[in-house]
Homo-oligomer: A and B are copies of this chain.
Amino acid sequence: MNSQCPIPPFNSERVLLGHGGGGLLSQKLLKDVIAFELKETLLPQNTDATYFNLSLPNGFSTHQQSELSLTTDSFVVDPIFFPGGDIGKLSIVGTVNDLAMMGCYPQALSLSFILEEGFLISDFIKILKSIRDELLNLNIKITCGDTKVVPCGKADKIYINTTGVGIRISPQGWRPQSIQEGDQIIISRDIACHGLAILNQRNNLGLSSSISSDCHELLTPTMALIQEGLEIHCARDLTRGGLVSAIIEIASVANKQIELNEELIPKSPAAQSAAELLGLDLLAIANEGTCIYFLPKECVSEALRILCSFSFMERAAVIGSVGADSKNGRGLLRLPTGLTRNLKLPPGEVLPRIC
């Protein structure tokens, strides 16, 4: 038993082991707390699996009938509340963004909780409200869910898995293999805010309070690019491992050289000084609402015009381009001195439990 756990018997303000047992208490948690808080963002269901039909927003059609996509993420972020978001909002945008980065629109979303015995119901409700707000914002619903409770000391408050099914609304599939020599790389905003906000909050570092997570959905701007008919070859949100990890992975799958220009990468002064202070590489720090798009040169200005019209993307900019074929691929960073260095994956932990 973890020494920070309150002493049982818990009162009704805390999660009990019985809330996960499948009896009346489980039903109460599901009906009075989860379904009550999520309200209209939860599809009515009384079976473990739920049927769903394909549906698209007005103005969109599917391509190559029945190409669907699936993505899953378990969120274990610590702390669960942070400047700019919480584990609830993160769990929705994280999964929806993975679908958006495939040119897909969400069709169904599952929500699965692992709760630690003794977790405050009031904190759970805050998280549920945040999930609901984000679902309403995106106009999507939860299709099915699951709740488990583990004893105190066998989890850390709450872990959330969200798994999303999407249907492709982009004319082609967006894949690392599809990038082409000459493609330009647009980044949607300044980097590293999520990782630094989490680190600051978790360790009471007292960094500038202006560092707030970029936790945000990327579906709306991505749909706007698709609706405008812009040709996009690949897109990626810069989560664990940040910009470095995304570039190296895409370069290696595509067997291409990708070059970024350090001076063009948007960075906030607060993030820059925080990373310098902590000896961290801004480019390898996680984001949760920042992405890159690979697209032909002729589409760049129109894409930038569209992206910059969204308040959370007003700093969107071209940061690099795709070069020639290169066996196993490589990522290069052009420094202000004119020299270049290879981008390298950090060996192990950059920041644990960032999402």
Contacts and interface: CB of A to CB of B under 8 A. Distances in A.
Interface of A: 2, 16-27, 46-54, 66-76, 98-99, 101-102, 104, 107-108, 110-114, 143-146, 148-151, 153-156, 159, 161, 163-166, 168, 173, 175-176, 236-237, 239-241, 245, 249, 253, 286, 345-353
A75 B159 CA distance: 12
Nearest to A286: B22
25 contacts: A16-B348, A18-B347, A19-B348, A21-B240, A21-B241, A21-B346, A21-B352, A22-B241, A22-B245, A26-B241, A46-B253, A48-B239, A49-B98, A53-B66, A68-B108, A72-B111, A72-B145, A74-B112, A74-B113, A74-B159, A76-B148, A76-B150, A154-B155, A159-B159, A165-B165
A159 B26 CA distance: 20
A153 B151 contact: no
Contacts of A69: 49-52
A68 B46 contact: no
A294 to B, nearest CB: 13
A102 B176 CA distance: 36
A145 B155 CA distance: 20
A75 B114 CA distance: 9
B18 A348 contact: yes
A161 B74 contact: yes
Contacts of A26: 240-241
Given A49-B69, A345-B27, A114 B112 contact: no
Contact of A349 (B21, B49, B348): B21
Give chain A's interface secondary structure class: mixed
B66 A21 contact: no
Nearest to A46: B253
- List the 8 closest pairs (A to B, CB-CB), nearest first: A18-B348, A22-B240, A49-B71, A22-B241, A72-B110, A163-B163, A21-B349, A161-B161
Nearest to A21: B349
B102 A47 contact: yes
A79 to B, nearest CB: 13
A184 to B, nearest CB: 20
A203 to B, nearest CB: 14
Contacts of A111: 72
A76 to B, nearest CB: 5
A39 to B, nearest CB: 20
Most chain B CB inside 10 Å of its own CB: which residue of A102, A146, A153:
A146
Contacts of A104: 49
